[in-house]
Amino acid sequence: MITEFHLPDLGEGLTEAEVVQWLVKPGDPVALNQTVAEMETAKAVVELPSPYEGTVSTLHAEAGDTVAVGAPLIAFDVAGDEPEGDEPASDAEEKTEPNLVGYGAAPASSGRPARRARRGTAATSSAAAAEAAVIEAAPHDALPPSEAEPVTGERPRSTPPVRAYAKRLGVDLVLVAAEVGDRVITRSDVDAYAERIGATGSATTTASGGETTDAPRTASAPPGGERAQTRIPIRGVRKHTAQAMVRSAFTAPHVTTFHTVDVTATMDLIEQLRADKALADHRIGPLVMIAKAVCLALGRNPSLNATWDEDAGEIVENHFVDLGIAAATERGLIVPIIRDAERLSLTGMADALTRLTQTARSGKTSPAELAGGTFSITNIGVFGIDAGTPILPPGQSGILAVGAVRRQPWEYRGEIALRQMMTLSVSFDHRLVDGAEGSRFLKDVADLLEQPGRAMLY
């Protein structure tokens, strides 16, 4: 019989999702938990598994359509006499529940221990959790897209964002795969192929006279002298970013403090650790050292790790650090979370950052991994920028911007010497954090980077 499947909440109370691409068509047989579509929410691209075993009957939306949570998405022809709805078709299927990316493992297969209970859960739920921010930078240790986890199956090997990008340009990834061979296809591969064949995607272009037309979006620049405009729909990550940043900027009174730090000792220590063969499996870089210093400094300055709960009239101090790290992806800039970062050793922090960036670059970061951070780090230094005034992620009271490391003359032990310098910028919510405590936090981070041995005193 025909059974309708309605779009579920893909995580954190999101109300809609866009169909990136269908992986099945009407008439195709499907197995339980087989991926049938890739859906883009405001936070991530997720793979949608089939909740039934049967045959695809109808697709209620096309690629590029936005579907509301609860709306019919796909219909299946399922054997048996079950009533229509979203329940599994048999007892056997109940034992193997569909596993939606973002929800974690299904109950029957979940073997992970439950996280400890935390105080102040109201401060990290509902709207605040749903507004995990996208920040203006990427970590130094971000891995190149070519190191992303490959997508298995008979499809060309690429990540969900690259497949969506190729679809917008009208590029067939099967043909790209024939040129690049057996490796993961990157966005640059798609661009190169599109330029050669003159591929186009859809966009709305406004001519100089003001008339709006549905014109193709080309992979190359418009002809010289033509006054043209390209209109790109505001959706997905960009739409969510705009809403979250406006809400944060007009809710929390921002203050930013700057401090230039001599990080020569930290950079020397990094070189020593990288030369240690026993640590060869760990990617220890500047961001790892900074993340560790931030966790230690937050323990001494708890208001930077707190949340303003307007409804309850309370300041919620978190006795754990869920550390957000900005990561550049082809979908945009996202901030996945390292849970309980204060518990990690230096090598543990390095491994967590590596996993975080690999997952983000492969487009597999789930909505749950983007929600509920307590403090964030954004690395503007990767762009050669020295300092900035980052906007707070909604619900957080502090964010640290990390500038570029530059070798420059500096006073050292009474003389002028060439030292490796970095500027740190911390923005904080002045409702929770006084200027003195914000400055103390920044000074604590700076002291740990200037003299990394001081970490032994914390």
Q: Could you list the pLDDT tens digit for every one of the 458 residues in the chain?
A: 899 999 988 765 678 888 989 999 999 999 999 999 988 876 677 889 999 999 999 999 998 888 988 999 999 999 865 444 444 444 434 444 444 543 333 333 333 334 434 444 433 333 333 333 333 333 333 333 333 333 344 567 777 677 778 877 778 887 888 777 777 788 888 888 877 766 544 444 444 444 434 434 444 445 555 677 777 777 766 676 667 777 777 778 889 999 999 999 999 999 999 999 999 999 999 999 999 999 999 999 999 999 988 888 899 999 999 999 988 777 677 889 999 999 999 999 999 999 998 888 777 888 888 888 999 999 999 889 999 999 888 889 999 999 999 999 999 999 999 999 999 999 999 999 999 999 999 999 999 999 999 888 88
The pLDDT score that the predictor gives to residue 43 is: 63
> How far is the C-alpha of 272 from the C-alpha of 326, rounded, in Å?
26
- For residue 380, CA distances in Å to 196, 393, 405, 445 come to 34, 16, 11, 17
The pLDDT score that the predictor gives to residue 357 is: 86
Given CA atoms 297, 302, 308, 309 in this order, what sign does their dihedral have? positive
Identity of the residue numbered 314? E
The pair of three-digit structure tokens given for residue 297, joined into one six-digit string: 């400094």
> How far is the C-alpha of 250 from the C-alpha of 312, rounded, in Å?
20
Separation of first and last alpha carbons in the chain: 65
Given CA atoms 20, 25, 26, 29 in this order, what sign does their dihedral have? negative
Identity of the residue numbered 129? A
Where would I find the H helices in 181-216?
Answer: 187-197
Residues 6+ apart with CB under 8 A from 265: 449, 450, 451, 452
pTM surpassing 0.75?
A: no
The pLDDT score that the predictor gives to residue 225 is: 57
The pLDDT score that the predictor gives to residue 136 is: 33
Q: Which of 217, 198, 218, 215 is nearest to 207 (CA)?
A: 215
The pair of three-digit structure tokens given for residue 336, joined into one six-digit string: 């996945």
Q: Which residues are known to be catalytic?
A: 430
The pLDDT score that the predictor gives to residue 52 is: 92
Give the DSSP per-residue string, 273-335.
Answer: HHH-GGGTTS---HHHHHHHHHHHHHHH-GGGGEEEETTTTEEEE-SS--EEE-EEETTEEE-
Contact, 341 vs 376, CB < 8 A? no
- How many residues are given for the chain? 458
Give the DSSP per-residue string, 89-157.
Answer: SSHHHHHS----TTT-S-GGG--PPPPPP-S-GGGGSHHHHHT----S---TTPPPGGGSPPPPSSS-S
The pair of three-digit structure tokens given for residue 39, joined into one six-digit string: 């859906």
Q: Do the strands 415-429 and 254-262 form a parallel or antiparallel pair, or are they unpaired?
A: antiparallel
The pair of three-digit structure tokens given for residue 51, joined into one six-digit string: 């909740």
Domains and CATH numbers, the chain: 2-109 (2.40.50.100), 121-144+237-457 (3.30.559.10), 149-231 (no CATH)
